[in-house]
Amino acid sequence: MFEVYITKAAKYLPNEAISNEEMEDYLGLINDAASKARRIILRNNKITSRYYAIDKTGKSTHNNAELTRNAVVQLFDENFTAQDLEVLSCGTSTPDIFLPSHAAMVHGLLKNKSVELNSSTGVCCAGMNSLKFGFLSVRSGNSTNAICTGSEKVSTWLNAQMYNHEAANLKSLEEQPIIAFKKDFLRWMLSDGAGAFLLENKPKGPISLKIEWMEAFSYAYELETCMYAGGDKLENGEIKAWSEYPPEQWLNESVFAIKQDVKLLDEFILSKGAESMGDAMSKNKITSDQVDYFIPHVSSNFFVEGLKKGLAEKGIGMADEKWFMNLSRVGNVGSASIYLALEELMNSGNLKKGDRILLSVPESGRFSFAYAYLTVC
């Protein structure tokens, strides 16, 4: 078994940062009316700026594969070129197309040479799953290096034109043309971007991060779906897939819109997060005293105090000075968020050899959680 190191990290955030007041200039107005939920949601999540790969007309400036490619190419230099790459592992919630896979589309843009590909799907844990594939590949000796990514292009999924047909249909039925909160909620939570890590079997440069271990947990066996797209939730909690709806309903009911069961989110995301993190730390025999930086992917600052309380009750509380987050500045970029936060910390100049970092990523899709423990060397 070989040791695995993150030797370089990069990010790509498209265009200019967008303030809260500008969001509807880009995403548009549903039924020509400002969202009544927007200000409340933004007040709770405390995100003040984010990035969209669209312009004010809603036209894309980049697709997901391009965002990812733009992060990946920053990892190449004279010491590690595109021709040296052996494995490309890409995670996303929002691929540009159903198939070919996201990693294949990114590889097509790199135009370097034949490499092994892996595409991880899901929600926020997709980025950690792509990282684990690269980690296991290098650790086993299958490869000497891997590039792993997390990326999202969600802005086009949130554009008003995706919901206007449903609003018009509601109006024709003499109902209020107001989109359900489970859909409107996420319009003010999510944004675009990509992050990338270079993994190698030897440390390199002034700072490398040794991946000590990675753990993942799923509670889908006992909990129903919370966040979803490409279907709708029935009263019994099951998901009816888009392919089982007649095409006219795809528009009338915004079947492809990203939706979230906020009640389920509130009930389980923190409790299962604390439970799984306690299990991961116990299995690997570490305590909070052995963590210098705690980087949690948190979808909203609304959950921070609850998470602190839940961790403290499990005996794994992290002191406030250990927390590192950039949610307010870059927004919730789903599977890319943990990459963007670690990239910022890794390139901050604040890390010193021996520092230990714990990454924590929850996913509300059907409640999955992923963790990684790193040592600065």
Q: Which residues have a Cβ under 8 Å from the Cβ of 268 and sit 6 or more positions away? A: 219, 223, 226, 367
Residues 20-39 pLDDT 10s: 999 999 999 988 889 988 99
**Structural contact between residues 147 and 88, judged by C-beta atoms closer than 8 angstroms:** yes
Question: pTM of this prediction?
Answer: 0.96
Q: Give strand pairing partners of 88.
A: 117, 147
What are phi and psi for residue 325, nearest 5 degrees?
A: -140, 145
Residue pointed to by tokens 């929850």: 362
Which sequence spans correspond to the domains of the chain? 4-206, 212-218+261-376
What's the one-letter identity of residue 307?
Answer: L
Q: What is the dihedral of CA 40, 262, 45, 150, to 10 degrees?
A: -140
CA distance 344 to 190: 19
CATH annotation of 4-206? 3.40.47.10
Query: What would the mean pLDDT of 104-130 be, rounded to a whole number?
Result: 98
The mean pLDDT of the chain is 95
Give the confidence band of 375 by pLDDT, cuts at 50, 70, 90: very high
% of the chain at pLDDT higher than 70: 97
Please classify residue 271 by burial: count the beta carbons closer than 10 Å to its beta carbon, then call 0-12 exposed, 13-18 middle and 19+ buried: middle
pLDDT of residue 253: 86
pLDDT at residue 155 tops 70: yes
% of the chain at pLDDT higher than 90: 89
| Domain spanning 212-218+261-376: CATH 3.40.47.10 | yes
Q: Please tell me if the domain spanning 4-206 has the same topology as the one spanning 212-218+261-376.
A: yes
Residues 224-266 pLDDT 10s: 999 999 999 999 999 999 999 999 899 888 899 999 999 999 9
Q: Give strand pairing partners of 63.
A: none
